[in-house]
Structure 1
Amino acid sequence: MEAFIKHTGIVGPVDRVNVDTDAIIPKQFLKRIERTGFGQFLFYEWRFDTEGNVNPEFELNKPRYKGASIMISRVNFGCGSSREHAPWAILDYGFRCVIAPSFADIFYNNCFKNGILPIKLSEEQVEELFQRTAKHEGYQLTVDLESKTITDEYGLNISFDLDEHRRQFLLQGLDDIGLTLQHENLISAYEAKRASRSFA
């Protein structure tokens, strides 16, 4: 898993509340067994019309947000079913960070397991980010996980809170498997000892 230390990127707004996982990655696209390839289907029913044509009204389809890697949205982002495909699609599309006032618990936890940094800010702070994004074309934020700050080139400086355990996971690029493999020598020694006993 790629570590998250400091990231600067264009901000892409999804100005909706209660964005659920079926909107993030519709169920008809859950047939793949790999973690990759889901980005093309992110927000599919919002990005495209019923005939598969690009919907120019959807925010992320607008040229000014092309290449966005930091998403901002509203309350209760990632609600609905517990599918891990949702963060897979977000990451595969190119987003490394999602900022919202609140997240559904399972989605929030799944983000950390996939190298995405979800940041909770107040509704007032998120509203300010929406206003700045609308005002400045190509608006960028810098998210620094080491200092737990969000800054821009116009004087913004916001601090955010994050559980230290999760922060270290992202800083080191560790998922649950990676954390376990840090003890590979001890695991191998235990397995070798167990194997020798079984033949004794």
Structure 2
Amino acid sequence: MDAEQVAMLREVLSASDWLGRTEEFALALRDCANRSEGLLLVGTPTAEPWHMAAHLDDESRLNHLPWLSPTLVRWSPPPGSPPHLRVGIERLEQARRGETLFVVAEDAAPAPLLERVDDARRTGVTILTLDGGDRELSGLAHEALTVPAGERLLSFDGAQHLVSAAAGGAPRRRPGLRDRLARLLEKVTGPVME
């Protein structure tokens, strides 16, 4: 998906709350990565987030945001892989306070991933998740964006594009507590009439 396709997707979603949700999550990702000592990116054993890694790396390079370039953590890196593709899952055991862990998992996270994420959180790592509806995984996150399976307006792949593009874009004011509470209230009760 190129910049023009992302712009079209943004236009299609402008009447929904998806655009605001993906931008809010992207701002959280950008802020956490900026304050972080490193951005770790991991998926499930069957779906490594290559796509997200490539887009975040591009946004980092194109927008001069070095902290946005992630370290891709892999479950089983093949022997002889280049150093940047050789970072194994044991890296999560070494994660410490000041680092950010971004988990991208469309399918349910297996127990070994949930355990590692929980351990990382307990050591002070900031956890962000982009998931397909896994309540256990999103429950471990400081910030989560869930794109449920079967969502009509936005695919999981589309959400990755919107998040990475917004994370690399010009910084905007992150919604404050009042903004987030108003959005939550609107979800529960419907639009507030003035």
Determine if the TM-score, normalized by the shorter chain, exceeds 0.5: no
Q: TM-score, normalised by structure 1?
A: 0.33
Larger Rg: 1
Give me the TM-score of the superposition, normalised by structure 2.
0.34
**More strand by proportion, 1 or 2?**
1
More helix by share: 2
